[in-house]
Amino acid sequence: METKKVLPILFAIMFLVMVGFGIIIPVMPFYAEDLGASPTQLGLLMAVYSLMQFIFAPMWGRISDRIGRKPVLLIGIAGLSLSFFLMAFASTLWMLFAARIIGGFLSAANMPTVMAYVADITSEENRSKGMGIIGAAVGLGFVFGPGIGGIFSDTSLTIPFYLAGASSLITFFLVLIVLKESLSEENKGATNRKRLSLKSAFNGPASNLFLLQLFVTLSLAGLEATFAYYAYEKAGLGPVQLGYIFMIMGFAGAIVQGGLVGRLTKKIGEGKVIQLGIFISALGFALILFIDSFVTAAIFLSIFGIGNGFIRPSVSSLVTKRAKSAYGQVTGLLSSMDSLGRIIGPPLGGLLFSIAINLPFIIGMILSFIAYFIYRLYAHQVNKEEKLSPSGESV
């Protein structure tokens, strides 16, 4: 299997998946409100999806190690499509909740399986590049999806859900027809034989990488939940301007992940790229405190987005390198930590904002520095392992 041919296919798959997901973002609050949702219920509607992902992503990762990546990815994308169509047909609030629960449960298979697929087909040298390309697809999907959803919501609030369902259905057939299985027959079902080594990886240095992912996502989710209110208070920016700002940030992050991460990791390694990303993210948080216009908001938020773009694919790459095998399990746990950050981050950000409007971004800086020290702990433990290893090789 040629990596150069497969990565563009995976890029297209994840781009279409995230376009479908992004289409409903600007519509969901109004749609739920029409069905009688209170602000609290709307928050729960958003949180329940991430909760399902947090619980079930590791399960789907393990299943993909046993039966292969392609069938699990087909299940995840079919589930996503089903959930969008169920939301379009929802006539009561409980139906909307049921659709979100089903979608969260089944689509939890998508991200860990795609990351495991990338780990299957890439060498360790090119692992970060592959993870970065997937990250770029996710970022660009979130750039275009909300714009499409906003445009078509003018006609009817249900149309974006039908579009999202159709996008996912197209993606399903793309996977079915074009994508080949990445796991060989002898590697399928090998999870049980690898379980002990995987457990030791969770109890060893790699556990710090999962914790780092949690803190990075926590700071990102807190920012996403409060930046619109903050930008309005500080610079009088409205929804349209904010849409453009997040679009610019998405492009900046996608460029970094799609092109720069792979080259940098080859030169200086994932560890230094992660540390660079953490410091850039912290700088972005600090600069956000000084926004006073559309231009400064776009530039400072993009600086944060660039930093985040350095971190995420590099962490994914390191986690799979540490695991050596059973990639679905480790990418599933990584996705689970990502979802946990998205569950905790928005209400925490909202609480901090209610205390003081600058507080979410100050805490974001603090979380970034905590992430830096978590990485340093990981590096220290790895160096200690390498010294104790008889071969002198990384364990």
DSSP state of 259: I
Q: Tell me the one-letter amino acid at 315.
A: V
CA pair distance 262, 234, nearest whole angstrom: 37
Tell me the per-residue pLDDT of 185-209, one tens digit each, with 9 for 90 and over.
666 655 555 553 445 545 678 889 9
Q: If DSSP codes are grouped into helix, strand and coil, which group holds residue 156?
A: coil
Decide: residue 225, CB within 10 A, 0-12 exposed, 13-18 middle, 19+ buried: buried
Tokens of 45: 């509607």
Q: Is the pLDDT of residue 87 over 90?
A: yes
Kindly provide the b/e burial profile for residues 75-104, where b requires at least 16 CB atoms within 10 angstroms of the residue's own CB.
bbbbbbbbbbbbbbebeebeebbbbbbbbb
CA pair distance 376, 129, nearest whole angstrom: 23
3-state helix, strand, coil in the chain (%, to 5): 85, 0, 15
Fold observed for domain 1-178:
Growth Hormone; Chain: A; (1.20.1250)
> Per-residue pLDDT averaged across 142-159, rounded?
82
Tell me the per-residue pLDDT of 265-281, one tens digit each, with 9 for 90 and over.
989 999 999 999 999 99
pLDDT, the chain, mean: 87
Residues in the chain, overall count: 395
> Per-residue pLDDT averaged across 37-66, rounded?
87
Q: Is the pLDDT of residue 42 over 90?
A: no
Q: Do residues 240 and 151 make contact, with C-beta atoms less than 8 angstroms apart?
A: no
Alpha-carbon torsion angle 383, 387, 388, 391, nearest 10: 110
Write the CB contacts of 224 (distance below 8 Å, at least 6 apart in sequence). 345, 346, 349
Q: Do residues 307 and 283 make contact, with C-beta atoms less than 8 angstroms apart?
A: yes
CATH architecture of 190-395: Up-down Bundle (1.20)
Decide: residue 186, CB within 10 A, 0-12 exposed, 13-18 middle, 19+ buried: exposed
Tell me the per-residue pLDDT of 236-256, one tens digit each, with 9 for 90 and over.
988 778 878 888 998 999 999
pTM of the model: 0.85
Give which of 112, 103, 120 is closest to 48, Cα–Cα.
Answer: 103
Q: Where are the alpha helices (DSSP H) in 289-358?
A: 294-323, 327-355
Tokens of 188: 């399928």
Same fold, 1-178 and 190-395: yes
CA pair distance 356, 222, nearest whole angstrom: 14
Tokens of 328: 């679905």
What was the pLDDT predicted at 394? 39
Tokens of 81: 């499509």
> Per-residue pLDDT averaged across 36-52, rounded?
84
Helices (H) then strands (E): counts for the chain = 16, 0
What was the pLDDT predicted at 389? 64
> Per-residue pLDDT averaged across 59-73, rounded?
92
What was the pLDDT predicted at 197? 44
Kindly provide the b/e burial profile for residues 136-148, where b requires at least 16 CB atoms within 10 angstroms of the residue's own CB.
bbbbbbbbbbbbb
Tell me the per-residue pLDDT of 342-371, one tens digit each, with 9 for 90 and over.
899 888 988 899 999 999 999 999 999 999
Long-range contacts of 350-358 (CB under 8 A, 24+ apart): 350/225, 350/226, 352/222, 352/226, 353/226, 353/229, 353/230, 357/229, 357/230, 357/233, 357/234, 358/289
Q: Where are the alpha helices (DSSP H) in 185-269?
A: 191-203, 206-235, 239-255, 261-268
Q: Do residues 254 and 302 make contact, with C-beta atoms less than 8 angstroms apart?
A: no
Q: Where are the domains of the chain?
A: 1-178, 190-395
